Structure 1
Amino acid sequence: MRTKYLRLVCAVMLLLALLAFPVGADMGPKPSVTVNFDGLSDRVCYATLLSDREHVGPYSVWDGIEENGINDRNYPGELEYGIWKSFADYRGCDGYCFLQRAWRVDKTKSLTWGYMPPDNLRILLYFPESGEFAVSGAYERYAFHTYYTVDMRDYTAGSGTLPKAARSYSYTNETISLIARIVLTIGIELVIALLFRYRSRRQVKILLITNVITQVILNVFLNVVNYTSGSLAFILMYINAEIIVFVIEAVIYAGILPEPAEGEKPKRGKAVLYALTANAVSFALGFAIAWLIPGIF
């Protein structure tokens, strides 16, 4: 019987592996850096992120040939030539360079570099009406989606230096969503356990302890993946991690969950089927909830 349920586990693992799908090298979400400028005045203002590298993905410093510059003749409406040229000529920050990307921020009060932003950066503002530049200290892209906030109420016009940028990633929301996922998953699997007639105090205790351990480890791991590598990596690791969790739970449940009547053999296959059903349902509902409430994942 033990060989039979182990074969079932292996068969399910093989099936899930065959259902895996290829991922292109440039598919899915990309890292980003967002900078919010609280209290920024309504003066016309442009912003960019300076890089410590001269080439980052498709972006690079100007080679000095005007025809190769990103100006209004090449990219109409994106960045006026005079603004681009002012940034390109900026030399106020040794070791950091302009990658020919900038945005007007006096209306939006924020900048988002959404495709391959620099890993090491400085924030640079330009006020064209006065010709004034203001640059920040050195920062880094600390998460897949990085957020900084600069309180411009502390900025002194003409100083040339921006106030310190504060990391503003929403760790509180991440913690709440983490706890919500764990509680929701455990609740789903316990309800399914009742449908499989696993109702004794001993069985519920086994299920509860096993689920708390596996779901805490799984969800903390997935949160770290999402934080550092983004949602596509999260999805791929979610699939692989769920397979591992299923195998672990199937082995545990098959070994200690059944309570056979005297003279009967333990129904280990039923325990494996429960592990498969519970994990499949919680996995599917997890994606459905993520679609309805994106912030929970």
Structure 2
Amino acid sequence: MRKKTLIRLACLLLMLSAMALPVYGDTGPKPSVNVTIEGLEGRACWATLLSARSSTGPHSSLWRESERGQWVKNQHILPRYTQLDPEYPAWAAFAEYEEERRDWFFLQEVWDASDGAFAWTYYPPDQFQIALWFPGENAVVLSQTCEQYAFDSYYHLDLSGAELEPGGAVRLPTAARSYDYTKELVSLAVRVVLTVGAELGVAWLFHLRSRGQMALILVVNLLTQGALNLGLNWYAYKNGTMFLFLPYLLMELGVVLAEGGAYLGLMPGGKGRGKQLAAYALAANGLSLALGWVLALFVPGIF
């Protein structure tokens, strides 16, 4: 009977993990670079990211670097915009800048950033410079070298004090990373509180109700759920949430083993209640896994 139960549980876990796998080769969210700009003062502004490489995903420059280190035309790459497109003046300005300088590649993507923000959400370059073009002055503003540091990277540019040179280029001293770590910490704390609360409730149902038992369960869960959620946060920070379920499942199985071992070794009379404590650890973490996944699906901002 016990063997059949384990086989059924294993099959269920495999089915759940398969549900989280993508069917197509290019589905789900991609890394992004998000930029906010301060100090525009109502001026029209267009933006792009100049890349250290000549292509990324579907984005390509009209130029490439040859094996000898020389810049040569990409004969098979066509201009991204025509003179009929509203983006054409910005595209032409960045293309001209690229051809004159030949140090960073313009991948032919531009955004109207006059509202103080833009985002490159599909295959942004790994290493780049943030470039702004101001049509009123025909001036370009460049950041220092930046890079993707998270699955969703955030930067903030402050133009205060920057004097635009008509027809020229101005380089800003830095672009500040602006990832909202406070929000991540709050989300992590909320998840830990909810999952620990759920597991304490399950303990009550398993008649683990004494002050010492509840105190031990609380301490163990704060440690294990804290470590679990830190691991989930780090994974999502670096890789996004698209493929989160499988590592989540594996980490949760590790938590079951750690908690079961802690209860057996530390709870008074634990060795004589092995089946009860093992069943509690499995049930409690099964509930916290389900609760966490429901939160990820319906309240994605909490991850």
CA distance in 2, matches of 1:206, 1:51: 53
Q: What's 1:102 paired with? A: 110
Q: What's 1:114 paired with? A: 121
Give the counterpart letter for 1:131 in structure 2: N
The match for 2:182 among 145, 149, 172 is 172
Paired residue secondary structure (1:90)? helix
CA distance in 2, matches of 1:230, 1:86: 34
Q: What's 2:70 paired with? A: none
TM alignment of 1:69-88, pairs within 5 A: 69-72=79-82, 77=85, 79-80=87-88, 82-88=89-95
CA distance in 2, matches of 1:78, 1:193: 63
CA distance in 2, matches of 1:78, 1:207: 62
Shift of the 222–155 alpha-carbon distance from structure 1 to 2, 3 Å rule, reads same
- Using structure 1 for the length normalisation, give the TM-score: 0.85
Shift of the 207–6 alpha-carbon distance from structure 1 to 2, 3 Å rule, reads farther
- Using structure 2 for the length normalisation, give the TM-score: 0.83
Q: Structure 1 vs Structure 2: percent identity of aligned residues?
A: 38
Gaps of 5+ in 2: 64-72
1:286 pairs with 2:292: yes
Give the counterpart letter for 2:108 in structure 1: Q
Paired residue secondary structure (1:160)? strand
- Larger mean CA deviation between 136-145 and 36-45 belongs to 36-45
CA distance in 1, matches of 2:77, 2:27: 32
- Larger mean CA deviation between 123-132 and 16-25 belongs to 16-25
What is the CA distance between 1:253 and its match in structure 2?
Answer: 3.7
Give the counterpart letter for 2:59 in structure 1: Y
Give the counterpart letter for 1:243 in structure 2: L
Q: What's 2:58 paired with? A: 58
Give the counterpart letter for 2:232 in structure 1: L
Give the counterpart letter for 1:135 in structure 2: L
Whether contact under 8 Å (1:258, 1:266) holds in the other structure is no
- Larger mean CA deviation between 191-200 and 286-295 belongs to 286-295
What is the CA distance between 1:257 and its match in structure 2?
Answer: 4.7
Paired residue secondary structure (1:268)? helix
CA distance in 2, matches of 1:197, 1:275: 13
Taking only aligned residues, the RMSD between alpha carbons, in angstroms, comes to 2.8
Q: What's 2:275 paired with? A: 269
Matched residue count: 286
Gaps of 5+ in 1: none
CA distance in 2, matches of 1:253, 1:8: 22
